[in-house]
Structure 1
Amino acid sequence: MHVYEMDSNTKQYNKTKEIAINFGSCFDICLFPQQYLKSKGLLVNKNGNYVNLMRKKENDDLIV
């Protein structure tokens, strides 16, 4: 998974990280939007048969 952050000066997005996640093939319904639960600092990502949960640390890193 690629993580992008917006540069406040140029208003452009720059790739800052690559995170290894579990992924699978998608033969039936593949559409599942990522969801970020701000109150818990939790990012939910479904890819194929896998659900990846990532928690945001205080230094903005993500733990899978």
Structure 2
Amino acid sequence: MDSSLFGVPFTVICIPVCNQDGIAIGAFGINTQENIAKKRAELEKISKGLMNSVSTFASTAEE
């Protein structure tokens, strides 16, 4: 985004959080101007970990 919206330029990376059927149920976002590739990798790792936790919880709840 250029500075016209909030007064400062910024870059946002969003990664969808999908359920087991591939349907987006949420998103993680990060606002950064540096190290975009590093932040993206960190965000993907966090989202995968969260999905694993949600899947484990769902399996336990079904049992």
For the criterion TM > 0.5, the same-fold answer is no
With normalisation by structure 1, the TM-score equals 0.32
Larger radius of gyration: 2
